[in-house]
Structure 1
Amino acid sequence: MQIIEQYSTPFYKNIVDLPPSMVRKLWKGNKIMILDIRTPQEYIEHHIPGSVLIPMDYLEVLSEYFSDKEVAVVCEHGNRARYATYGMPHLYKKRSIYMIGGMVGWMSMGYEVESGMDENGTKWEQWLDEKLK
């Protein structure tokens, strides 16, 4: 499989911008974790199956749970995800992927989505409770 990668800046070689089609190929091949940084309400409305919710406000506090993995960072339109990757590059030890277009781009391609809250949507609350004990 050929992966076309686009770097938005020469300063962060571990951050890559990819379209939803390439993110989906990596995700289907179990090569990346999809990190959803939207609010719980947005996650309930629709999310990528298997994505892990960590709301953007808690990324820094809970970074130990994803910093050692290759992640694709996803939000609704791509603005928060861009900030979470390029504005907080210290959170990712391995490659992080900014998914161009966010969930809107994903859904416009007709890719799979789920509704409702699941186990991956509540993990962040459990992790936060563990840290606060």
Structure 2
Amino acid sequence: MQIIEQYSTPFYKNVVDMPPSMVRRLWKRNQLLLLDIRTPEEYVDHHIPGALLIPMDYLEVLSEYFSDKEVAVICEHGNRARVATYGMPHLYKKRAVYMIGGMALWMSMGYEIVRGMDENGLLWEKWLDEKLK
């Protein structure tokens, strides 16, 4: 399988750009953790099944829960995900994928989404409570 990936900068070799089609292919093969950095309200409205919600404001605090995994960072249109990957490359010990176009492009391609809150959408609150104790 040929992976289409692109580096936006030569300075962060662990961060790459990928279109939703390649992110979906790697996700289906369990090679990537989907890290949704939107707000809980956005997550409830629509998200990719199995995506882990960690709102962007809590990424640094909760990075221990995903830093050792290969992740695809996802937001609504791609702006926050770009900041969370290229602006915070120190959060990822392995590869971090910036998903081009975010959820808007994912949905326009007809890929699967679900609505409502699930266990993966609530984990970040549990982890945050544990850290604050």
Count of residue pairs the alignment pairs up: 133
Residues 35-114 of structure 1: pairs in structure 2 closer than 5 A: 35-114=35-114
Displacement of 1:4 after TM fit?
Answer: 1.4
Query: Which amino acid in the other structure matches residue 77 of structure 1?
Result: H
* Structure 2: distance between partners of 1:120 and 1:75: 15
Question: Mind listing any 5+ residue stretches in structure 2 that lack a counterpart?
Answer: none
SS in 2 for 1:85: helix
TM-score normalized with structure 2 length: 0.99
SS in 1 for 2:35: strand
1:7-56 Cα shifts (integer Å, max 9, x gaps): 00000000000000000000000000000000000000000000000000
* Structure 1: distance between partners of 2:25 and 2:91: 24
Identity %: 81
| Aligned counterpart, 1:7 | 7
Query: Which amino acid in the other structure matches residue 88 of structure 1?
Result: M
SS in 1 for 2:90: helix
1:30-88 Cα shifts (integer Å, max 9, x gaps): 00000000000000000000000000000000000000000000000000000000000
1:73-130 Cα shifts (integer Å, max 9, x gaps): 0000000000000000000000000000000010000000000000000000000001
| Aligned counterpart, 1:115 | 115
Displacement of 1:5 after TM fit?
Answer: 1.3
